[in-house]
Amino acid sequence: MTDNVHSAAGAPDERPPSSSVGLLGWLRGNLFNTWYNALLTVLIIGGLMRVIPPLLDWLIFSAHGFGAQATECRVPDSGACWGFVGDKLRFIMFGTFPYDQQWRPLVTIAIFIALLLASCDRRFWKPWLALLWAAGLAAVSVLMWGGVFGLTYVENALWGGLPLTLILSVIGLAVAFPAAILLALGRRSDMPAIRVISVTYIELIRGVPLISLLFMASVMFPLFLPTGVTIDKLLRAQVAFIMFAAAYMAEAIRGGLQAIPKGQYEAGDALGLSYWQNMRKVVLPQALAIAIPPLVNTFISFFKDTSLVIIIGLYDLLGTAKAALTDPAWRGFYREAYLFIGLIYWAFCFFMSKYSQKLERDLNRSHRR
């Protein structure tokens, strides 16, 4: 013991060789530790050198600002024309909604984001959250349709842009989710009729592409109606989305249900819980927690799938960007347009995936080993 103290005091630690600490050491340890890693590092740095400077040049240094006109951008060797986004921003975000009323869809976007953020916080997971949603959706419909409180009426054929994307995906998912739970339970039910109906529905919907459902809803369906009777185009698309999402989410939830050990069901039964109590208090909380990754996967792909409504003439975010590109004065700036809306889609999807990771960690604590 004393020997140790003595030697520690007598011979101070030597610094490690300078080649194994600091930046140089890190470089040696991680990038140049073997000859093939060194080669790869050199190649990748070379590639980045070729890509990054021209990209930055296009994005920033040679680019024209948000106030630029199309004619200023059409000079040789000029970079991005952010003037396109500047000029078309309101059209891309809100579509053909009446121009002087566009604060209404803006508030709608804010309400949706606030509702989503509130729903993400587990402290808000109380029965009154449903009331909050009802109030939020009522506010959204008043804002979008108007016709009351002195707001002019705006028919939903004029809705477009980000509010339309949010309405289609958020309402679609919110309605489809409970339906999906019922379908998943129905598929595992002991009652033959319910099981057959659930299986038929799920397999039928999953067996056709979303685009054909949208076509059926928007193109075939009106032909079966008497002349003059039309059901709103947006409603038809929304219903098609709900049907589609419900079938896919039902399968994700069924996966969760199957992962619950039989003992859990039997334990619930042994406690004398009814079927619904058993599901609500014992099985579903565990099953849904397990099903989070596939569910979020469905959410994300579904959010992006809303852009398919372009084929039935609804202007979602992608549709407005495409329509903005057809302005004769602004043709050809599609890189800027797609980059801009890509950023918006990415922000939403990235948030969803990050949040789901957090939720997974929180809810699956018991499963951690």
Residue pair 180/246 in contact (Cβ under 8 Å)? The answer is yes
Q: Name the minimum Å distance from CB 327 to other proteins.
A: 6
Q: Choose, by CB under 8 A, the member of 287, 325, 341, 348 that binds other proteins.
A: 325
Tell me the closest approach of the beta carbon of residue 354 to other proteins, in angstroms. 32
- At closest approach, how far in Å is the CB of 311 from other proteins? 5
**What does the alpha-carbon distance between residue 92 and residue 337 come to, in Å, rounded to a whole number?**
9
Rule CB under 8 A: say whether 328 interacts with other proteins.
yes
Among 326, 365, 366, 368, binds other proteins (CB under 8 A): 326
8 scored as a contact of other proteins (CB under 8 A): no
Report how far apart, in Å, the C-alpha atoms of 168 and of each of 157, 160, 242, 250, 342 are.
Answer: 14, 11, 9, 19, 18
Segment lying near other proteins (by CB under 8 A), choices 11-19, 248-256, 260-268, 311-319? 311-319
Q: Is 340 in the site for other proteins (CB under 8 A)?
A: no
CA 152 to chain CA centroid, nearest Å: 31
The reply to whether 67 sits near other proteins by the rule CB under 8 A is no
Stretch that binds other proteins, among 135-143, 246-254, 312-320, 358-366 (CB under 8 A): 312-320
Q: Which is nearer to other proteins, 91 or 241 (CB)?
A: 91
Q: How far from the centroid of its chain's Cα atoms is residue 288's Cα?
A: 19
Q: Tokens for 132? A: 């909050």
**159 contributes a contact to other proteins by CB under 8 A:** no
Least distance in Å: CB of 242 to other proteins? 21
Binder to other proteins among 138, 225, 267, 271 (CB under 8 A)?
A: 225
Q: Which residues contact 174 (CB under 8 A, 6 or more apart)?
A: 133
Min CB(54)–other proteins separation in Å = 15
- Pick the binder of other proteins from 29, 54, 313, 342 (CB under 8 A): 313
User: Closest separation between CB of residue 47 and other proteins, Å?
Assistant: 21
By the rule CB under 8 A, 226 interacts with other proteins: yes
CA angle 305, 201, 294 (to 5 degrees): 45
d(CA 226, CA 148): 31
Tell me whether residue 230 or residue 258 sits nearer to other proteins (CB atom): 230
For other proteins, give the closer residue by CB, 35 or 153.
153
Q: Minimum Å distance from CB 331 to other proteins? A: 5
**Which member of 80, 82, 85, 87 binds other proteins (CB under 8 A)?**
87
* Least distance between other proteins and beta carbon 43 (Å): 26
Write the binding mask 184 to 223 for other proteins: x where contact by CB under 8 A, - elsewhere. Answer: -------------------------------x--xxx-xx
Q: Which of 35, 36, 99, 153 binds other proteins (CB under 8 A)?
A: 99
Shortest Å, Cβ 334 to other proteins: 5
Kindly state whether residue 181 participates in binding other proteins, applying the rule CB under 8 A.
no
Binding mask 231-250 for other proteins (x = CB under 8 A): --x-----------------
Question: By the criterion CB under 8 A, which residues form the site for other proteins?
Answer: 70, 74, 76, 87-88, 90-91, 94-99, 155, 157-158, 215, 218-220, 222-223, 225-228, 230, 233, 310-313, 315, 319, 322-329, 331-332, 334
